[in-house]
Each structure stands twice: as structure tokens, then as C-alpha cells.
Structure 1
Amino acid sequence: MMKETNKLKEIEKAISQLSPQDLTEFRRWFAEFDAEAWDQQFETDVTTGKLDGLAEKALKHLREGNCTDL
């Protein structure tokens, strides 16, 4: 765990030293990276059925008329 903490501190230090232009580019890259990671996790959750219970609960509420239109 200590090694990971040190690596994170190194990354934080490196980011804090970026030029404004490089920081803008890093933000763009990280937003894309983070979105891709989220998409992959969501796909995994869907494929493995992790969200099935939530979907069933939502459909049950819909069938019972416990939903409102947005």
C-alpha cells in the first residue's frame, strides 16, 4: 500500500507542475480515460447481471404506477 501511495504522490506532484496548456490537455485526456473506464465497468455490470435487481425494481414500480414522467 505504501508503494501505491508514493506513486500517487508522484503523479500529484507531476500534475501540479504542468503548464496551463499541458494541464488542459491532461484534463481532456483524463475525462476520456475516466469515461471509458466507467463505460467498461457499466458493460461488465450489465453482462454479469449486477444491475438486474435494480432493473426489476424499476419495472415493478413502473407497472404499479409509482413513476412520474420527467
Structure 2
Amino acid sequence: MGKIEQIAKSVEALEGKEFEAFVEWFENLRAERWDRQIEADAKAGKLDKRAEEALAELAAGRTRPL
């Protein structure tokens, strides 16, 4: 059995508060990894073009409230 299968089996066995604690932990882990990736991309300049485009749209008045 591979790692993913072992993890899936373990998660499926969780009940109640243990499952909720796992979900909270996993969601936090996922968010932390996302934040680190966005930060790395920003530092590497990978988001610069999108930011420039957004600022140009704003300056041209081509935006709308969310």
C-alpha cells in the first residue's frame, strides 16, 4: 500500500472531533503553503505583470465594485 492509500485509510478512520481537528490542521497547512507560494512568486516578480494590468485598468476607470 502506498503512502496516499495509507493516509486515506487513516483519515477515513477518524471520527468526530479527531476528524474536525484533522480538517482544521489540513486547511491551515494548505493555506500556509499557498501563502508561501504567493510570497515567493511576488518576490520573484511573477505577479508584476498582473499587478501592472490591474493598476492600468483602475487608472482607466475600467473597474467595478465587487
Match of 1:48 in 2: 44
1:66 aligns with 2:62: yes
Structure 1 stretches lacking a partner, 5+ long: none
User: Which structure 2 residues correspond to residues 34-45 of structure 1 after superposition, within 5 A?
Assistant: 34-45=30-41
Q: CA RMSD in A?
A: 1.4
Seq. identity, %: 38
Count matched residues.
66
C-alpha separation in 2, matches of 1:53 and 1:10: 42
SS at match of 1:59: helix
TM-score, length-scaled by structure 1: 0.84
Q: What one-letter code is carried by the residue in structure 2 that aligns with 1:37?
A: R
TM-score, length-scaled by structure 2: 0.88
Q: What one-letter code is carried by the residue in structure 2 that aligns with 1:17?
A: A
Change (3 A) 1:69 1:21: closer
What displacement does 1:21 show?
A: 1.7
